Structure 1
């Protein structure tokens, strides 16, 4: 499930034409941290999931619903 959520966030970021560095800047994080989240090196917390989704410009509830429906 975690991998599917991260993949959905990564796809949403790319669809929004945002680079990792752009997303990191919006969140006040380092680009390397975003990279580690996207590669699965770090686990994404619920708080981080919501923050990332909102920074990308997607509704975190809708995105999670889409991930769950694809199961």
Structure 2
């Protein structure tokens, strides 16, 4: 089944929101990686779009940053809806 062209764009917006939340929380990539038990390079790879986050990883990242994963996703989708209307 082909991937919808909108999916990578949506993923990019979600990652941008997570990256902004990380910066707002004054966390460096290495700090977030430690909280997750990941390598810093893994955080860098998803933030630069080299790697896509799975749903469970998205939830783990949001929680490690200290934000509600549902609230972040809702904000991204609301922004998307406003941009298309």
Give the structure-1-normalised TM-score. Answer: 0.99
Give the structure-2-normalised TM-score. Answer: 0.83
Unaligned runs of 5+ in 2: 1-9, 81-85
Larger Rg: 2
Count residues with an aligned counterpart.
71
C-alpha distance after superposition, 1:25-59 (max 9, x if no partner): 00000000000010000011000000000000000
Higher-RCO chain (CA-CA 8 Å, sequence separation at least 6): 1
RMSD of equivalent CA atoms: 0.3
Unaligned runs of 5+ in 1: none
**Cα offset, 1:61, TM superposition:** 0.3
**Cα offset, 1:20, TM superposition:** 0.0
For 1:38 and 1:68, the matched residues in 2 are separated by 19
